[in-house]
Structure 1
Amino acid sequence: MQKIPSFPLWIGNTGDGRDHRVLAKCGVHAVLQLAGEEPALEPPLDVMHFRIPILDSVGNISHRLILASNVLTTLLTNNITTLVCCSDGNGRSLAIAACAIGQLNGQTPFDSLKFVQEHHATSISAGLWND
């Protein structure tokens, strides 16, 4: 799990979302799970859980991408420490984080992706990014 500076935001993989001790240690109060191919997480009862399945390729349903970005934007706006996770933590999580950060900062997703890449290695599929 890696912290994105200036935001109450952690990026990780599904395993991080399953580790209740790590969630507590990092002060996570919400988890946004994006990997539809993974079983649903079961975070502690005091941790909010949002599951919005997104493909790590082309063919995403646009309203899911918009919903995921809007959910994360709302959580960050309300200063709720959030973990965004997908299978490996380098693709979908970072794409949605970049979109939400862009909304908060009035930047394009591409510009905010550059900021995210300064703090986390990315492996976002071209198909997902173009969706």
Structure 2
Amino acid sequence: MTAIPATNLWIGNAGDARNLQKIRSLEIRAILLLAYEEPIVNYPRDLTLIRLPLLDGGENDFFNFEIAVTSLTSLIQNDVQTLVTCSMGMSRSPVIVSAALAIHHSLPFDDVLTSVCKSIPTDVSPEFYRYVRSVFEKLI
């Protein structure tokens, strides 16, 4: 689990999403689960949980993508400590975090993605990147 500098955001993997002790110690209040292939975990009622299953390619529903980005943007605007996870925490999570931060700060998506990717190990799927890049403009 890695903090994104100058934000209340953390990026992690499926194992991090199950580490309730670490989540509590970081005072994380919301978890955005993006992994299509991971099982659903039971969380305590005081944690906000948003599960939007995205595939690491271009075959996602715009609906799920839009909810993921707008929900995360709202959490950012409200200064909520949030963990964003996908299976490995290296593709879907940094891309969705970058899209939400770009919208929140009115910055170019590619610039924000480059900055986020400097903070964590990444392996962004080219198909997922192209998909997000193509629909990003519809959200702003």
TM-score range, shorter-chain basis? over 0.9
Matches within 5 A, 1:1-131: 1-131=1-131
CA–CA separation in structure 1 for the residues paired with 2:108 and 2:43: 32
CA–CA separation in structure 2 for the residues paired with 1:111 and 1:30: 26
Amino acid at match of 1:49: L
Deviation at 1:31, TM superposition (A): 0.2
**Moved runs in structure 1, 4+ residues, more than 4 A?**
none
CA–CA separation in structure 2 for the residues paired with 1:88 and 1:94: 11
Does the residue aligned with 2:50 lie in a helix, a strand or coil? strand
What 5-or-longer segments of structure 2 have no aligned partner? 132-140
Deviation at 1:82, TM superposition (A): 0.2
**C-alpha deviations, 1:68-114, integer Å up to 9, x for none?**
01110000110000000000011100110000110111112111101
**C-alpha deviations, 1:6-56, integer Å up to 9, x for none?**
110000011111111000011100000000111112222211100001011
- Greater shift after overlay, 71-80 or 38-47? 38-47
Does the residue aligned with 2:119 lie in a helix, a strand or coil? coil
Does the residue aligned with 1:10 lie in a helix, a strand or coil? strand
CA–CA separation in structure 2 for the residues paired with 1:19 and 1:44: 12
* Number of matched pairs: 131
Q: TM-score scaled by structure 2?
A: 0.90
Amino acid at match of 1:84: V
Amino acid at match of 1:4: I
CA–CA separation in structure 1 for the residues paired with 2:16 and 2:44: 13
CA–CA separation in structure 1 for the residues paired with 2:58 and 2:107: 23
Q: TM-score scaled by structure 1?
A: 0.96
